[in-house]
Amino acid sequence: MNKAALYITAASTVSHQPTFGNPGFSSTLGPIVADNALISPDYKAYIDPGLLRRMSKILRMAVACSKDCIAQAEIEQPDAIVVGTGLGCLHDTEKFLNTSLTVDGLLPPTSFIQSTHNTMAGQISLSIGNHGYNMTHTQNTLSFEHALLDASMLLREGDRHVLVGAADEHIDILEDIAAQLSFEAPARLTSGASFFVLSKENRGNAAAILTDVHTTGGIENAEAEIDAFLIRNGLNASDVDLVFHAGEPVQGVKGNVPYLPLSGVYATASAFALHYAVDSLQTNASLKNVLICNALRKSNLGLILLQSVEA
């Protein structure tokens, strides 16, 4: 990314924490425990009841967060909608596969249609009557970062406001799959959705500046990648006030906060970390530079650099 400032003018998250519609939540978070349920807003305030009945959990989260962001940003329509997801609409995928095993003859199409990864972006578009650019990125644990890169390029090519976010959902079979693969999750497997409005200009409502985004795969030396990323932004580790990380702490930074114990584990949990970082910047005036380091999958590295609006 080049260095023209991009502003985060809205942020909304549905998670296992009291994040939705709750500015200042970053100062009250604690680790998720076994009985923490997803904290859902009153979806009827955002979605027509007739549509709501036919929506899976991930669609409800995505649409509600999107509409909340649009209201916060005080825009009529975003110029584009960009979504990242690692595993997509798992509940509807499971439902479709189970139906294919139990129903003879033609299968009802709804679960298949809603099982595709781009269903969220499409449903958001339908819900708000948007006819602009609509894209879904699915690059495993870097899906959200790629969505951010896409949104950033759109703004630099002329768009004014882009709705960008990510969502993934937990279903019970993931626990069985994780056990069979001997996957030792660093925290509980969960669901979550986080959406943002990225804007080219600050109309007095900017919460943070998105300074840079970087992704790389097949890494051998994460520390060197992080140092190079900071250097190209005119910083070194001592200039970073706070790091939210999945994986190893970043060396040379005083404040390192592991975000997976707070978000739970899902492919796009770095979107939760972004909202956590934005809220922290808004509530703590001493923070100037905040880094999100996503090494949820050891071979992948996603880096997001934020600055306070006053920096």
Q: What is the pLDDT along the chain (311 residues), one digit of tens a residue?
A: 545 679 999 999 999 999 999 999 999 999 998 888 999 999 999 999 988 988 999 999 999 999 999 999 999 999 999 999 999 999 988 888 888 888 877 777 777 888 899 999 999 999 999 999 999 999 999 999 999 999 999 999 999 999 999 999 999 999 898 888 878 888 999 999 999 999 999 999 999 999 999 999 988 889 999 999 999 999 999 999 999 999 899 998 989 999 999 999 999 999 999 999 999 999 999 999 999 999 999 899 999 999 999 86
End-to-end CA distance of the chain: 19
Rounded (10°) CA dihedral 91, 297, 259, 265: 20
For residue 140, the 8-state DSSP code is G
For residue 1, the 8-state DSSP code is -
Cα(151)–Cα(80) distance, integer angstroms: 8
Residue 248 identity: E
pTM of the full predicted structure?
0.95
Chosen CATH of 209-307 out of 3.40.47.10, 3.40.50.970, 3.20.20.140, 3.40.50.620 = 3.40.47.10
Is it true that 6-199 and 209-307 share their CATH fold? yes
Residue 143 confidence (pLDDT): 98
Q: HEC string of 21-83?
A: CCCCHHHCCCCCCCCCCCCCCCHHHCCCHHHHCCCCHHHHHHHHHHHHHHHHHCCCCCCEEEE
Q: Give the length of the chain.
A: 311
DSSP-derived secondary structure for 227-264: HHHHHHTT--GGG--EEEEESSPPTT-S-EEE-HHHH-
Domain 6-199 is of which CATH architecture?
Answer: 3-Layer(aba) Sandwich (3.40)
CB 166 within 8 A of CB 143: yes
Residue 1 confidence (pLDDT): 52
Residue 100 confidence (pLDDT): 86
- State the CB neighbour count (10 A cutoff) for residue 220: 7
Query: Closest by alpha carbon to 294, among 252, 262, 248?
Result: 248
- State the CB neighbour count (10 A cutoff) for residue 161: 24
Contacts from 93-98 at CB under 8 Å and sequence distance 24+? 94/171, 94/173
Q: Residue 188, CB half-sphere, CA atoms under 13 Å: how many?
A: 20
Q: Domain ranges in the chain? A: 6-199, 209-307
Angle at 16 between CA 302 and CA 62, to 5 degrees: 65
Distance from the Cα of residue 67 to its chain's centroid: 15
